[in-house]
Amino acid sequence: MHLTDRCNNRCRFCMVDEIHGQFSFPYETALELIDKLPAGSKVDLFGGEPTLYQHFFDLLQYIQSKRLKCSIATNGRLFSKREFTDKVAAITGGECYIRTSLLGLSAEVHDRLTGVKGSYAELIAGLDHIVSAAMPCQVNIVITTDNLRELSEITKLAIDKGVPRIKFGLIVDAQSSPELVPTLDQIRPQLSEAVQIAENNGLTVTVEKAPLCLLPEYMNQFSSESVIGKWPRFYDDAGECGVCVARNWCDGLDPQYAAEFGTAGIRRIEKIPRKVLTPFPNDLSNGNQIRFLKLNLFAMPQKFIEHEQCEMIMLNLIEQTRQKHARIAFIDNNIVR
């Protein structure tokens, strides 16, 4: 639910054109929408900065009264106030999922990217409060030329703070801030090291807004926002993408990135690494193996292909995947390495 365009940061790569405008979602309409949600739904609150929404606490209270789940995508600054964090935790029973953005290892880099001096100190204090209030949370890191060489250290900082999940993402629109956009070849080694550190320390890792060939060894960790909304993407179908086995599950490139840097950084995937496969489940009825917003890859055992209900079970699994906004692919064993 897009609550407001107001924001107290001025991120240089911000992807919302109208950000810092005056849009405010009508409160009554928000309540009506919530009333229509089926039991067990999750309400995602975002902006701008959703904590600046005029009816923020009232809305949280309403969501809680309906016994729905919620998540907040925030720059984390207001959580630097202990009483603010405690109020969010109290209203939601400590179960609201908090997604914050950590853009640098130091105030120097983070504040330069957010455009606001002091935003780093507030975010770090906010993270401490969120973690100590035992609210589930993650940090998002938008990869830029400014923080590229710090990805591993930022990851260690998140680990030190007790954050259980980390998400790395590319800048969505390279044209908005071309000087901040690293090439895929520059990103690859830095991101690979950071992801390994995160995984070795037990964090859940996600990569988004990136082609799968950026890190094929972790392709099952890639989310795809194309399952939620559509925006233009570019594929080198006359070249590498045209002969890539992952073409149908890949988000491709930002067209502005391709215009700026070309397609040199993309590399066809010829075989799927075995380690990214989800074991083919014995029980396909409940969809528990489907991971929200991620790529689920199943290698098809011969005995399943020959199963008389193979097609029906696959359709059922695809439908369950769609409901979780995830992606699914059934892999022929001859393209597994």
Q: Applying CB under 6 A, which of residues 20, 268, 324, 325 lies at the interface with ligand SF4?
A: 268
* Phi–psi pair at 162, nearest 5 degrees: 85, 20
Region binding ligand SF4 by CB under 6 A among candidate stretches 17-25, 114-122, 243-251, 306-314: 243-251
Task: Specify whether the backbone of 104 is left (phi greater than 0), alpha (psi in -120 to 50) or beta.
Answer: beta
Q: How far is the CB of 324 from ligand SF4 (least distance, A)?
A: 22
Region binding ligand SF4 by CB under 6 A among candidate stretches 174-182, 222-230, 240-248, 282-290: 240-248
Q: How far is the CB of 108 from ligand SF4 (least distance, A)?
A: 33
Q: Considering the rule CB under 6 A, would residue 208 count as an interface residue with ligand SF4?
A: no
* Residue found by looking up tokens 């928000």 in the block: 30
Q: Considering the rule CB under 6 A, would residue 246 count as an interface residue with ligand SF4?
A: yes
According to the 3-state scheme, what is the secondary structure of 145-184?
CCCHHHHHHHHHHHHHCCCCEEEEEECCCHHHCHHHCCCH
Q: Identify the CA nearest to 199 among candidates 155, 150, 161, 137.
A: 155
Q: Specify the residue, 50 or 252, whose C-beta has the smaller distance to ligand SF4.
A: 252
Give, in degrees to the nearest 5, the angle at Cα 253 between 260 and 294.
150
Helices vs strands, H then E, count in the chain:
10, 8
Q: How far is the CB of 246 from ligand SF4 (least distance, A)?
A: 5
Q: Specify the residue, 188 or 247, whose C-beta has the smaller distance to ligand SF4.
A: 247
Q: Considering the rule CB under 6 A, would residue 247 count as an interface residue with ligand SF4?
A: yes
Chain positions 248 to 267 lying near ligand SF4, rule: CB under 6 A, are 250, 252, 266
Beta strands at 97-101 and 69-73: parallel, antiparallel or unpaired: parallel
Q: Considering the rule CB under 6 A, would residue 191 count as an interface residue with ligand SF4?
A: no
Q: How far is the CB of 227 from ligand SF4 (least distance, A)?
A: 16
Q: Identify the CA nearest to 126 among candidates 137, 116, 110, 114.
A: 137
Q: How far is the CB of 220 from ligand SF4 (least distance, A)?
A: 13
Region binding ligand SF4 by CB under 6 A among candidate stretches 98-106, 236-244, 310-318, 320-328: 236-244
- Give CA–CA dist 87/91, Å, rounded: 6
Q: Using only C-alpha atoms, what is the Rg of the chain?
A: 21
Measured CA to CA in angstroms, residue 132 lies from 79, 85, 201 at distances of: 12, 10, 19
Q: Considering the rule CB under 6 A, would residue 299 count as an interface residue with ligand SF4?
A: no
Region binding ligand SF4 by CB under 6 A among candidate stretches 25-33, 144-152, 237-245, 320-328: 237-245
Question: For residue 222, what is the DSSP state?
Answer: B
Chain positions 118 to 137 lying near ligand SF4, rule: CB under 6 A, are none
Count CB-CB contacts under 10 A for residue 260: 13
Chain positions 269 to 298 lying near ligand SF4, rule: CB under 6 A, are 269
Region binding ligand SF4 by CB under 6 A among candidate stretches 12-20, 55-63, 168-176, 245-253: 245-253
* Phi–psi pair at 303, nearest 5 degrees: -65, -25
Q: Applying CB under 6 A, which of residues 235, 257, 261, 298 lies at the interface with ligand SF4?
A: 235
What is the binding site for ligand SF4 (CB under 6 A)? 211-213, 235-236, 240-241, 244, 246-247, 250, 252, 266, 268-269
